[in-house]
């Protein structure tokens, strides 16, 4: 099953958040989300034991760690990691507490996380390639150029898309990007396992039914006729219009990913590698 998820938003437990946990949960449920993490600043908003409305699964404990420098999402941690440490130590503490570390909005202030940072750091699962809260901040919402540079340097990381909403009324931010997760079930444990294995894509409305790598051939299928673009080693190598497209990696091509554009919006696959 495909489930829509957001892993970065803020309630009024953050100093810059404007709405309650209950209001956030109701908004995302009403917009057909099945997974939500509330990542308030430097303080865990404990959702343990709280039932999400409808089919909305809640990540029990999450937090966004950091100030005006690097920010790290700690998704599904047992408790609050200590602050004031190096970035690597913070990532290690997140992992020690059973969490997933995601590096937030690399293009905030244009160089919030550099490619060098991302190659050097170990143990995080991925970065936000799209963060629509950046539409009202200095920088840019997209970080695909950083993602590609890191992949070209041989680092395997996952791509996430989160809205980083701080209220429910700014329609240019909330609900403008999400993660579509292919999961065995709707429970948080199933969804987390699917995320950790890379079984999801980033979407602003576009849909992908399958993205597979077999024998060095990468195939993408969409439910609607779409513009399908393949990116290899950071370069656009093939563009096709239709419901499916394939590309076979050549010698020296390190990875491939695809971007699709349909009447519904855009979608972005994870990177795939020849040996996958």
The string of pLDDT tens digits covering residues 100-114 is 999 999 988 766 899
pLDDT at position 68 is 67
Q: Are residues 128 and 185 in the same domain?
A: yes
Q: Are residues 227 and 180 in the same domain?
A: no
* C-alpha to C-alpha distance for 39 and 21, rounded to whole angstroms: 11
| Residues 129 and 148: beta-carbon distance below 8 Å | no
Taking only the tens place, the pLDDT of each residue in 63-78 is 999 876 779 999 999 9
Taking only the tens place, the pLDDT of each residue in 156-165 is 999 999 999 9
Taking only the tens place, the pLDDT of each residue in 174-233 is 999 999 999 999 999 999 999 999 999 999 999 999 999 999 999 999 999 999 999 999
Q: Are residues 159 and 264 in the same domain?
A: no
Taking only the tens place, the pLDDT of each residue in 256-267 is 999 999 999 999
Q: Are residues 69 and 142 in the same domain?
A: yes
CA 113 to chain centre: 15
Residue after which a domain boundary falls, among 203, 221, 253:
203
Q: Are residues 96 and 192 in the same domain?
A: yes
Q: How many domains does the chain have?
A: 2
Q: Read off φ and ψ for residue 96, nearest 5 degrees.
A: -60, -25
Token pair in block for residue 49:
């034991």
Q: Per the domain annotation, does 274 fall within a domain?
A: no
Q: Per the domain annotation, does 139 fall within a domain?
A: yes
DSSP string, 23-53: HHHHHHHHTT-SEE----BTS----TTPPPS
Residue after which a domain boundary falls, among 203, 221, 256:
203
State whether the Cα torsion 178-189-212-31 is positive or negative.
negative
Name the region of 244 (left: φ>0; alpha: ψ -120 to 50; beta: rest).
Answer: beta
| Residues 125 and 270: beta-carbon distance below 8 Å | no
CA 230, 232, 238 angle in degrees (round to 5)? 35
**Exposure letters 236-264 (e unless 16+ CB within 10 A, then b):** eeeeeeeeebebebeeebebbbbbbbbeb
* Domain region containing 183: 2-203
* C-alpha to C-alpha distance for 130 and 118, rounded to whole angstroms: 16
* Beta strand 210-214 pairing with 256-262: unpaired
pLDDT at position 110 is 65
- The pLDDT of residue 118 is above 90: yes
State whether the Cα torsion 97-89-142-163 is positive or negative.
positive
Cβ neighbours of residue 184 under 8 Å, at least 6 residues apart?
1, 190, 193, 194
Residue after which a domain boundary falls, among 203, 231, 255:
203
Q: Are residues 66 and 166 in the same domain?
A: yes
Number of Cβ within 10 Å of residue 69's Cβ equals 9
Q: Are residues 144 and 196 in the same domain?
A: yes
Q: Read off φ and ψ for residue 30, nearest 5 degrees.
A: -65, -25
Q: Per the domain annotation, does 135 fall within a domain?
A: yes
Q: Are residues 188 and 228 in the same domain?
A: no
* C-alpha to C-alpha distance for 62 and 71, rounded to whole angstroms: 13
Q: Are residues 48 and 111 in the same domain?
A: yes
Q: Are residues 72 and 125 in the same domain?
A: yes
Q: Are residues 173 and 247 in the same domain?
A: no
Report the CATH number at residue 253.
2.60.40
Q: What count of residues does the chain have? A: 276
């Amino acid at each position: 099953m495909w489930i829509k998820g957001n892993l970065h938003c803020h309630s009024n437990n953050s100093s810059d958040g404007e709405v309650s946990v209950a209001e956030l949960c109701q908004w995302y449920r009403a917009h057909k989300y099945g997974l939500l993490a509330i990542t308030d600043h430097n303080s865990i908003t404990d959702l343990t034991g709280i039932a999400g409305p409808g089919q909305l699964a809640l990540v029990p404990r999450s937090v966004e760690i950091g100030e005006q420098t690097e920010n790290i999402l700690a998704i599904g941690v047992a408790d609050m990691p200590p602050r004031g440490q190096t970035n690597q130590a913070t990532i290690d503490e997140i992992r020690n507490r059973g969490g997933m570390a995601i590096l937030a909005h690399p293009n905030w202030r244009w160089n919030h996380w550099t490619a060098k940072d991302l190659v050097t750091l170990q143990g995080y699962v991925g970065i936000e390639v799209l963060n629509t809260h950046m539409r009202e901040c200095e920088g840019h919402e997209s970080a695909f150029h950083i993602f590609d540079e890191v992949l070209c340097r041989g680092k395997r990381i996952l791509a996430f898309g989160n809205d980083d909403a701080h209220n429910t009324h700014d329609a240019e931010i909330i609900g403008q990007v999400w993660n579509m997760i292919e999961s065995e079930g709707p429970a948080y444990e199933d969804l987390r396992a699917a995320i950790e294995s890379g079984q999801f894509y980033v979407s602003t409305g576009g849909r992908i039914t399958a993205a597979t790598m077999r024998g060095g051939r990468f195939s993408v299928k969409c439910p609607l006729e779409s513009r399908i673009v393949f990116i290899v080693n950071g370069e656009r190598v093939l563009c096709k219009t239709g419901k499916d497209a394939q590309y076979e990696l050549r010698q020296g091509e390190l990875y491939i990913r695809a971007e699709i554009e349909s009447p519904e919006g855009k979608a972005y696959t994870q990177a795939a590698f020849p040996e996958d």
